[in-house]
Amino acid sequence: MFKYTCLNPIADIGLKNLTDDYKVTENIAEAEAVLVRSASMHDMELSDNLCAVARAGAGVNNIPLDECAKKGIVVFNTPGANANGVKELFVSSMLLAARDIVGGINWVKENKENANISKDMEKAKKQFAGTELMGKKIGVIGLGAIGVLVANVANRMKMEVYGVDPFLSVHNALSLSRDVTIVKSYDEIYKECDYITIHVPLLEDTKGMLNKEAFAKMKDGVVIINMARDTLVNDDDMKEALESGKVAKYVTDFPNPAVVNMPNVIATPHLGASTEESEDNCAIMAVDEIRNFMENGNIVNSVNFPNCDAGTCDTKGRITIAHKNIPAMISSITHVFSDASVNIANIINKSRGDYAYCIVDIDSESTEDMVQKLVNIDGVLKVRIVK
Ligand code: MLT
């Protein structure tokens, strides 16, 4: 029996895939798995029972990744599961920036008692006129699951699309339309583009990346679209850029108290993934990841541990070990089994940065004694008997 808790509502279509082996608890201290959307886990106590956290979404800035890794807690996200939802909101963002649709709608509301509305609007409408997207240059910063869809849809809207991503994967490169020009530096995007849209994770390196220096390199009257996270943009510098007209419009799905008071901001309340389809897809993927981890010990789509997938276990026992990526760990681990005269049928060890993960399939039953000996190895963070 595995105990799990949901820190936010998670779509039923995903939760119903949790079998009778899973029992929900309100008490995070006794949960082995956590499902979370946007609740912040930064100030939460991480109990020794906790093995896995799955974020139903892409961004993981609400989870203390390193603290989790230090305790051997594997954190998952659901890359791509909500990408279409975000892409569709992105399309509306461009349209809202290009044409004063919001101003026009407000004008109609204000004139709801006006018997001459049909006539008056023909005069009023010029104040809401805009421009078209076709032929404009757009730069997509970050070509992950969302960035690729965004670049391709902008291309289909006949925009001239430039993309940049220092970590572009082969899969994502192959998913991009051939018409998208991949450039090597952010500066090329800043210099060329009328629209710039950002789709990168919020990390120490990316925090405040759209700042005074970046704005200075951009075209006058550029439109910035931010469907990723608010602090990717330096608020003070954005305020100055909006006031000077350097940035003509800032469309963001992440308003904060500073941004909502700036001129020429169009803000939505974190709606990117708020579609039935995205919520369902994220819930299904997050639950699959938790099940695969809890039942098989496999890691797929982790953001703080390496992916490590040994399929289902067909030997007598399986033990998993989350450990530090330091010398002699594998020999220390295998000694525990050889000392107990236990045959290792299969072993996979994968590392990622400071952390590593090992799946050991053995031809004997797993025992608490093995677990204890593994836990006692310096650098071992968590040990689980999977079978
Ligand atoms: C994401 O990071 O994918 C979104 O923030 C998901 C959400 O809206 O919860």
Looking from the CA of residue 37, the nearest atom of ligand 1 is 9
Distance 272 CA to ligand 1 centre (A): 7
Question: Is the same domain home to 142 and 279?
Answer: no
Distance 273 CA to ligand 1 centre (A): 6
Looking from the CA of residue 78, the nearest atom of ligand 1 is 3
Looking from the CA of residue 38, the nearest atom of ligand 1 is 9
Looking from the CA of residue 82, the nearest atom of ligand 1 is 3
pLDDT at 190: 98
58 lines ligand 1 (CB under 6 A): yes
Query: 3-state DSSP call for residue 152?
Result: helix
Q: How many domains does the chain have?
A: 3
Per-residue confidence band for 17, with pLDDT thresholds at 50, 70 and 90: very high
Question: Is the same domain home to 45 and 87?
Answer: no
Question: Is the same domain home to 194 and 260?
Answer: yes
Q: What's the chain's Rg over C-alpha atoms?
A: 25
Question: Is the same domain home to 251 and 364?
Answer: no
Best residue among 7, 35, 38 to mutate for probing ligand 1's pocket (most ligand atoms within 8 Å of CB) is: 38
Distance 319 CA to ligand 1 centre (A): 33
Per-residue confidence band for 48, with pLDDT thresholds at 50, 70 and 90: very high
Question: Is the same domain home to 199 and 313?
Answer: no
pLDDT at 52: 98
82 lines ligand 1 (CB under 6 A): yes
Query: 3-state DSSP call for residue 141?
Result: strand
352 lines ligand 1 (CB under 6 A): no
Count of helix runs (H) and strand runs (E) in the chain: 13, 16
CATH of the domain at 300: 3.40.50.720
270 lines ligand 1 (CB under 6 A): yes
Instruction: Name which of 330, 291, 287, 292 is nearest 311 in CA terms.
Output: 292
Span 376-381, mean pLDDT? 98
For residue range 164-222, list pLDDT tens digits in order: 999 999 999 999 999 999 999 999 999 999 999 999 999 999 999 999 999 999 999 99
Question: Is the same domain home to 299 and 346?
Answer: no
For residue range 100-137, list pLDDT tens digits in order: 999 999 999 999 999 999 999 999 999 999 999 999 99
Question: Is the same domain home to 142 and 33?
Answer: no
Q: Which helix (H) or strand (E) segment is 301 a member of?
A: none
Instruction: Name which of 21, 23, 72, 33 is nearest 286 in CA terms.
Output: 33
Q: For residue 233, give the DSSP letter.
A: B
pLDDT at 247: 98
Q: Which domain holds residue 288?
A: 1-82+275-305
Span 273-283, mean pLDDT? 97
Question: Is the same domain home to 193 and 141?
Answer: yes
Question: Is the same domain home to 114 and 187?
Answer: yes
Span 136-159, mean pLDDT? 98
Distance 3 CA to ligand 1 centre (A): 24
Q: Give the pairing type, strands 195-198 and 52-55.
A: unpaired
Q: Is residue 317 a contact partner of residue 379, using CB atoms and an 8 Å limit?
A: no
Q: Please give the Cα distance from 17 to 1 (Å, whole number).
A: 15
**What is the reported pTM?**
0.92
Distance 245 CA to ligand 1 centre (A): 30
Question: Is the same domain home to 179 and 236?
Answer: yes
Percent of the chain with pLDDT over 70: 100
Per-residue confidence band for 37, with pLDDT thresholds at 50, 70 and 90: very high
Distance 136 CA to ligand 1 centre (A): 28
Q: Residue with the nearest Cα to atom 8 of ligand 1?
A: 273
Distance 289 CA to ligand 1 centre (A): 17
For residue range 296-318, list pLDDT tens digits in order: 999 999 999 999 999 999 999 99
38 lines ligand 1 (CB under 6 A): yes
pLDDT at 239: 98
Question: Is the same domain home to 182 and 291?
Answer: no
273 lines ligand 1 (CB under 6 A): yes
Looking from the CA of residue 58, the nearest atom of ligand 1 is 3
pLDDT at 386: 98
Instruction: Name which of 355, 345, 364 is nearest 308 in CA terms.
Output: 355
CATH of the domain at 333: 3.30.70.260
Q: Residue with the nearest Cα to atom 4 of ligand 1?
A: 57
Query: 3-state DSSP call for residue 345?
Result: strand
Distance 9 CA to ligand 1 centre (A): 13
Question: Is the same domain home to 227 and 318?
Answer: no
